[in-house]
DNA sequence: CACTGTCAAGAGCACTGCTCACGCTTCTGT
DNA sequence: ACAGAAGCGTGAGCAGTGCTCTTGACAGTG
């Protein structure tokens, strides 16, 4: 039953976006009276959380699939990044729900952080077999420990500088996808494929892939 | 009158976020009956558009102020980027409205693109007096013309490769700010100041500043 | 004076999230 | 086998929303 609710929720999310998702309409679609939904899902926000978790899971597995192919680390990086963009373009509302604006002041429910790190882990996987570039400057205090924490959280052994470089690469990646998806580059970039590929390669070089 | 409406709208936006903004409540606050608002603003979306324009303008002028200080191009780049992050942290809901998720499929009303490019122009200003790095590979077809378009749109004369590098830097910038603001790095980064400054410097190096 | 246009009021429609008291059904313990 | 309990769905209802439409007050102009 709860599965049916999230499935219907996902359909409405994909069609009309998160703002238009209403508990009443999923109840209607499930031939249930509106109040009946509340036996299964506590509130609208709870349904959104469910959908966020499902979204991270689907995106994570898509990235894992894309990165599982044989190839050099750089090829796997390219494939993973390409899969991220492809998924975002295929599921814009879901992407917006995951990486767009939450209500600021909003604390992600703890249930979401595991699926969320799954996505990051998939993006980090190509680094596992590649040596970090040696010419990086050493890091100062807090940044160094943050870099270690990043690597630790992913279960990778990376130099701290590589960890913070990786997080920066993610920022670029999500920035690129968001700018494109949210229409901020419509008047400027014509060949989004080439543009994205260009920067993905630049990131790969920066990470030593 | 319209100014009062947007002012009240901005107050509610800042306090409760875009999702909670309602025409009825700004009408209430202005001692007006709900339907009276519709004489001045066509719909809720129209008010949002007004607020978006106001937001771009405020952010743009904040960046212009920050970048106007004397100094080397790199110092001005640092100041501008810092101002972007500071503004976002001070006005999270407004930032989310500008650069978070719009309803995908949403086409920004034409009135918003001028104020929006004002922000980009302010971010590009430090490049005006700095020579582009010479060691960049040449660009192929569509990317090259896109790079020209970017420079043209900003009124700068830049090599195409510098234009696309600049757009990539923006993606990183907005990615960094968004990840931080939307809570995606809460469990990972402790010293957000240092982290941001580190990557801003890396971007500066990449742009030849 | 009469006319016209601007403004606000108020009622009303359709929708939302959410609560609560009520029955029905099915499963379980004695 | 029967009573109780638990799970499940119903319907009414509250407060709030966006938005529309008709009505009425007030001014400025011929």
Predicted confidence (pLDDT) per residue in A14-51, tens digit:
999 999 999 999 999 999 999 999 999 999 999 999 99
- The mean pLDDT of B55-78, rounded to a whole number, is 94
Cβ–Cβ below 8 Å for A101 and B100 = yes
B201 sits in the region (left: phi over 0; alpha: psi -120 to 50; else beta) called alpha
Q: Where are the beta strands (DSSP E) in B3-89?
A: none
pLDDT of B102 above 90: no
Q: Which of A129-138, A200-209, B90-99 has the lowest mean pLDDT?
A: A129-138
Measured CA A82 to C1' D5 distance, in angstroms: 55
Measured CA A34 to C1' C25 distance, in angstroms: 20
pLDDT of B118 above 70: yes
Whether residue B173 contacts residue A178, with contact meaning beta carbons closer than 8 Å, is answered with no
Measured CA A130 to C1' C11 distance, in angstroms: 70
pLDDT of B106 above 70: no
- Band of pLDDT at residue A137, cut at 50, 70 and 90: confident
| Chain D nucleotides reached by a protein CB under 7 Å | 8-13, 16-22
pLDDT at A133: 85
pLDDT of B108 above 80: no
Percent of chain B with pLDDT over 90: 78
Report the C-alpha gap between B184 and B182 in whole angstroms: 6
- The mean pLDDT of A172-195, rounded to a whole number, is 95
- Band of pLDDT at residue B115, cut at 50, 70 and 90: very high
Dihedral sign for Cα atoms in the order B191, B193, B197, B203: positive
- The mean pLDDT of A161-173, rounded to a whole number, is 96
- The mean pLDDT of A111-134, rounded to a whole number, is 91
| Chain C nucleotides reached by a protein CB under 7 Å | 7-12, 15-21
Report pLDDT digits (tens) over B5-22.
Answer: 999 999 999 999 998 999
What is the average pLDDT value for chain B, to the nearest integer? 92
pLDDT of B132 above 90: no
Report the C-alpha gap between B196 and A163 in whole angstroms: 14
pLDDT of A130 above 90: no
Report the C-alpha gap between B11 and B79 in whole angstroms: 27
Record the pTM. 0.94
Residue in chain A lying closest to B91 (CA): A104
Q: Which of B97, B142, B183 is closest, CB to CB, to A194? A: B142
Whether residue B199 contacts residue B176, with contact meaning beta carbons closer than 8 Å, is answered with yes
pLDDT at B70: 81
pLDDT at A103: 59
pLDDT of A120 above 70: yes
Q: Where are the beta strands (DSSP E) in B35-159?
A: none
Which A residues 8-47 have CB within 7 Å of strand C? 21-25, 34-35, 38, 43-45
């Amino acid at each position: 039953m709860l599965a049916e609710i999230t499935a219907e929720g996902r359909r409405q999310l994909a069609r009309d976006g998160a703002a238009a998702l209403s508990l009443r309409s999923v109840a209607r679609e499930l031939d249930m009276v509106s109040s009946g939904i509340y036996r299964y899902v506590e509130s609208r926000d709870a349904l959104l959380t469910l959908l966020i978790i499902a979204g991270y899971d689907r995106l994570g597995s898509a990235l894992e699939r894309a990165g599982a192919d044989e190839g050099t680390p750089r090829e796997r990086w390219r494939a993973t990044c390409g899969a991220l963009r492809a998924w975002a373009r295929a599921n814009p509302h879901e992407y917006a729900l995951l990486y767009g604006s939450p209500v600021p002041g909003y604390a992600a429910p703890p249930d979401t952080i595991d699926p969320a790190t799954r996505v990051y882990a998939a993006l980090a996987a190509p680094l596992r077999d590649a040596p970090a570039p040696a010419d990086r400057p050493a890091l100062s205090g807090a940044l160094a420990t943050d870099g270690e924490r990043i690597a630790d959280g992913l279960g990778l052994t990376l130099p701290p500088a590589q960890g913070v470089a990786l997080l920066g690469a993610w920022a670029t990646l999500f920035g690129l996808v968001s700018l494109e998806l949210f229409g901020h580059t419509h008047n400027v970039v014509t060949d989004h494929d080439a543009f994205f590929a260009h920067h993905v390669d630049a990131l790969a070089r920066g990470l030593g892939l």
